[in-house]
Amino acid sequence: MSEKPSVLFVCVHNAGRSQMAAGWLAHLAGDRVEVRSAGSAPADQVNPAAVEAMAEVGIDIADQKPKILTYDAVEASDVCITMGCGDACPVFPGKRYLDWKLDDPAGQGVEAVRPIRDEIKTRIEGLLAELFPEDQKA
């Protein structure tokens, strides 16, 4: 892994789960991690309920735009985290792949998105503990 690890979050529409995960990682890791997100079939805009749920915890993802998943994005990332995109994510040797089973917030109101947001935060905290084990020493 490079000095500054890069993490790619992938879901189908790049409008909910992957955008929230990217927002959490950027917020919690600061500039220590390069954060990317993409989708196998990107939506026109980020899910408004995801934007609202993240705003409730002080993270603004309103300016994000769903992006198409590219081979280059995967190849340039140290860790690829998929969230319900099936086999759409290309596999490259030497990359770390994780698949996070999370409910899809598409079509859901903010009440349904909050628990997904909170689960993503917990998983991001675990990922950071793995990426930066030196932070865990007391």
> Is residue 80 annotated as part of the catalytic site, yes or no?
no
Q: Is 45 part of any domain? A: yes
What does the DSSP 8-state code read for residue 80?
E
Nearest CA to 83 out of 22, 1, 28 is that of: 22
Residue at 138 is within a domain = no
CATH number of the domain at 125, please. 3.40.50.2300
Q: What domain range includes position 103? A: 6-132
In one-letter notation, the amino acid at residue 29 is: A
pLDDT digits (tens, 9 = 90+) for 44-67: 999 999 999 999 999 999 999 999
pTM here is: 0.92
pLDDT score for 86: 62
Domain count, the chain: 1
Given the residues 85, 102, 113, 127, select the one marked as catalytic.
85
Does residue 11 carry a catalytic annotation?
Answer: yes
Based on the residue annotation, tell me whether 89 is a catalytic residue of this protein: yes
Contact 104, 82 (CB under 8 A): no
Question: According to the model, what pLDDT value does residue 135 have?
Answer: 77
Asked whether residue 33 is assigned to any structural domain, the reply reads yes
For 27, phi then psi, to 5°, come to -70, -45
Residue 137 maps to a domain: no
82-107 pLDDT per residue, tens: 997 666 666 777 789 899 999 999 99
